Structure 1
Amino acid sequence: MSHKQALIIYNPLSGKRKKHSAFPILLNKLSEIGYHLTVNEINEVNNMNNPIRKACTQKWDAIFIAGGDGTVNQTIQFLAEEEFRPNIGVFPFGTSNEFAKFMRVPNNIIDVVSVIESGCITPVDLGKFGNRYFINIAAAGWLADITYETPPFLKSKFGELAYCLYFFKKLLFKKPSDNISINISDTVFSDLSLFLIMNGNSVGPLERLIDEKICDDGYFHLLTYKKTTRIKLLFHLFAKLLNLSKDLSIIQHTKINEADFMLPESISLNLDGELASVNSSYFQVLPQHLNVFGSNKNN
Structure 2
Amino acid sequence: MAQSGNLARLIINGKSAQIDEVREAVTALRKDGHALDVRVTWEGGDGLRMVHEAAVEGVSRVIAGGGDGTVNEIVAGLMAVAPERRPTLGILPLGSANDFAHGVGLPLEPQPALELALSGHEHDVDVARLGEDCFINMATGGFGAEITTSTPVALKRLLGGGAYSLMGMLKAWRYQPYQGVLSWPDGELTTPLFLLAIGNGRQAGGGQCLAPAAKLDDGLLEVVAVRHFSSLHDMRQLLSEIERLPEDGEFVRTIRTPRLSFRSDTSFPLNLDGEPRHLKQFEVSLEPRAIKLSMPDTSELLNSSP
Q: TM-score range by the shorter chain?
A: 0.7 to 0.9
- Structure 1 residue aligned with 2:45: 46
- Structure 2 residue aligned with 1:216: 217
Uncovered stretches (5+) of structure 1, i.e. residues with no partner? none
User: Normalised by the size of structure 1, how large is the TM-score?
Assistant: 0.86
User: Hey, what's the Cα distance between the residues in 2 that align with 1:65 and 1:288?
Assistant: 19
Alignment of 1:68-147 (within 5 A): 68-83=67-82, 84-147=85-148
Q: 8 Å contact 2:267–2:278 — kept in the other structure?
A: no
Q: Does 1:179 pair with 2:179?
A: yes
SS in structure 2 of the partner of residue 96 of structure 1: coil
Which moves more between the two structures, 152-161 or 67-76? Answer: 152-161
Distance 1:26 1:186, change over 3 A: same
Which moves more between the two structures, 285-294 or 182-191? Answer: 182-191
Q: Deviations over 1:213-254 (max 9, x none)?
A: 411011110111123426455323421243397861221111
User: Hey, what's the Cα distance between the residues in 2 that align with 1:146 and 1:255?
Assistant: 25
SS in structure 2 of the partner of residue 59 of structure 1: coil
Q: Does 1:293 pair with 2:294?
A: yes
User: Hey, what's the Cα distance between the residues in 2 that align with 1:77 and 1:278?
Assistant: 19
- Structure 2 residue aligned with 1:26: 25
User: Hey, what's the Cα distance between the residues in 1 that align with 2:279 and 2:211?
Assistant: 28
Distance 1:232 1:180, change over 3 A: farther
User: Hey, what's the Cα distance between the residues in 2 that align with 1:244 and 1:259?
Assistant: 19
Matched residues, percent identical?
24
Q: CA RMSD in A?
A: 2.9
Q: Deviations over 1:190-216 (max 9, x none)?
A: 114121111234444344x55534110
Letter in 2 for 1:180: G
Distance 1:30 1:48, change over 3 A: closer
- Structure 2 residue aligned with 1:273: 274
Which moves more between the two structures, 60-69 or 75-84? Answer: 75-84
Distance 1:106 1:48, change over 3 A: closer
User: Hey, what's the Cα distance between the residues in 2 that align with 1:232 and 1:283?
Assistant: 33
Distance 1:275 1:85, change over 3 A: same
User: Hey, what's the Cα distance between the residues in 2 that align with 1:105 and 1:60?
Assistant: 22
Aligned residue pair count: 294
Letter in 2 for 1:7: R
Distance 1:124 1:178, change over 3 A: same
Structure 1 stretches of at least 4 aligned residues deviating more than 4 Å after TM superposition: 244-247, 277-280
Which moves more between the two structures, 55-64 or 289-298? Answer: 289-298
Structure having the larger proportion of residues in strand: 2
Q: 8 Å contact 2:126–2:219 — kept in the other structure?
A: yes
Q: Deviations over 1:79-108 (max 9, x none)?
A: 212112111111111111011112210112
Distance 1:215 1:160, change over 3 A: same
Distance 1:138 1:8, change over 3 A: same
SS in structure 2 of the partner of residue 13 of structure 1: helix
Q: Does 1:64 pair with 2:66?
A: no
User: Hey, what's the Cα distance between the residues in 1 that align with 2:69 and 2:199?
Assistant: 16
User: Hey, what's the Cα distance between the residues in 1 that align with 2:231 and 2:127?
Assistant: 32
Uncovered stretches (5+) of structure 2, i.e. residues with no partner? none
Distance 1:238 1:142, change over 3 A: same
User: Normalised by the size of structure 2, how large is the TM-score?
Assistant: 0.84
- Structure 2 residue aligned with 1:238: 239
